[in-house]
Amino acid sequence: MIVKIIEWYQRLGPFSRWAADCFADAGCRVVISTDWKDTSGADLVYTPVPGLKRGDSPLFTQFEGFGSVLIMPESSKLSPRVKATFDNSDKVGVIDPNIYLELIRCGVITQNMLMLPNPIPDITIPPKETPEFRVFYPSGCWGIKKPERIIEAARLVEKEEPKIKFVMAVGSKVWHMPLDWLELDNVEFLPNLPHDKMLEEYAKADIVIPFSAAEILPWTVFESFVASKPTIVDVIGKVQSVHRKHVEEMVSWFGIPARIFHEHWKDEYGSGEGDHYLHADSSEDLALLILELYHDEKRRLELGNNALEWVSAYKWKPKDKGKKILELMGLKT
């Protein structure tokens, strides 16, 4: 069985990486393309790109945080691209209840909209000791990450604890400007890293801060949890906010229509904030939390252990998502 994954712009982008794992583990041959017009010649076309035209192959569109926010209107009027997604796709997956609510606000009500969150990376990240206290900021889609917030937090932290080092995998430039003007001794800028090198940075980190201005279910948060690191976020989805004792029950609902999933959602799930992650709204909040954790090793260990326990209960691996999508599309390997 051939599954064609149509990516945004990068043949080896993060979406294609985990999506390829999903279907390869489920026994499929995977072809990755960035040609948005090439939606034929496979048993299934799977894409995060909204609004693609359906060819002669079944089309499954996944609304992820980055893609859905780019096209979501501020008003309640449905954008043409979102409408085209539901008109052309056999089924549409949403990764988080927040995206479902936003689509409902814009008038989308369809049984073809399914709750299919990102899977947990099927990896282990053992800790790696370093002499420095490191705060790691994973790279991603810089147009929505707004790294200036991290820079400002680093300035504030340096005034109190100059030994705390911020590590940012941002490539050679940020905002299309040279980095030498920043004049910050406590920030280390790394080049764009391949995935295995990124995992090494998680391993060496004391705190991970996968800030994002738009995404609500970023892969980087899952990787931080797998690494058993205290994690500080700014935008996080309901899925990741569920208390640890409810995670396994929530996972059992994945694959059902998004409307039914939302109706099942229980208020007592509440927010896991303070349980397995921390939340910061601003650079000032982030700096304060980093300084508090720097002086509280017990709290760092507690948050990291709770995050790993959360991930262990999640039990939604790439092969599980791949098999579920094939099942929902009536395909067998």
At 44-69, the pLDDT tens digits run: 999 988 889 999 999 999 987 544 54
Structure tokens at 315: 């039990």
- The residue with tokens 């791949």 is 322
Q: Check residue 148 and give its pLDDT.
A: 80
DSSP letter (8 states) at residue 330? T
Sign (positive/negative) of CA torsion 282, 288, 292, 295?
positive
Span 278-303, pLDDT tens digits: 999 899 999 999 999 999 999 999 99
pLDDT in tens, 267-276: 777 778 889 9
- Residue 78's pLDDT band, with cuts at 50, 70 and 90, is low
At residue 230's C-alpha, the angle toward residues 175 and 241, to 5°, is 90
Which residues are within 8 A (CB) of 293 and not within 5 positions of it... i.e. 6 or more apart? 206, 207, 230, 278, 299, 300, 303
Residue 66's pLDDT is: 46
Q: How distant, in Å, are the alpha carbons of 64, 77, 129, 317, 330 from that of 72?
A: 12, 9, 43, 28, 30
pLDDT per position as a tens digit, 114-130: 999 989 888 899 999 99
How confident is the model at residue 132, as a pLDDT? 95
Q: Over the stretch 162-207, which tens digit does the pLDDT of each residue have?
A: 999 999 886 545 545 555 556 788 988 887 778 889 999 999 999 9
pLDDT at 71: 47
Q: Residue 100 has what pLDDT? A: 83
Return the DSSP state at 158. H
pLDDT of amino acid 163: 95
Provide the pLDDT confidence category of residue 141 given band limits of 50, 70 and 90.
low
Task: Name all domains of the chain by residue range, CATH numbers in brackets.
Answer: 2-119+317-328 (3.40.50), 133-236+277-314 (3.40.50.2000)
Asked if 29 contacts 326 with a C-beta cutoff of 8 angstroms, the reply is no
Q: Which residue has the higher pLDDT, 13 or 61?
A: 61
pLDDT value at position 272? 83
pLDDT at 217 over 70: yes
Average pLDDT, the chain: 85
Confidence of residue 77 (pLDDT cuts 50, 70, 90): low
CA–CA separation, 179 and 174 (whole Å): 7
Residues 6+ apart with CB under 8 A from 252: none
Q: Which of 36, 29, 31, 44 is nearest to 9 (CA)?
A: 36
Determine the Cα–Cα distance for residues 210 and 207; give it in Å rounded to an integer. Answer: 10
DSSP letter at 122 equals S
What is the rounded average pLDDT of the residues 83-90?
A: 89
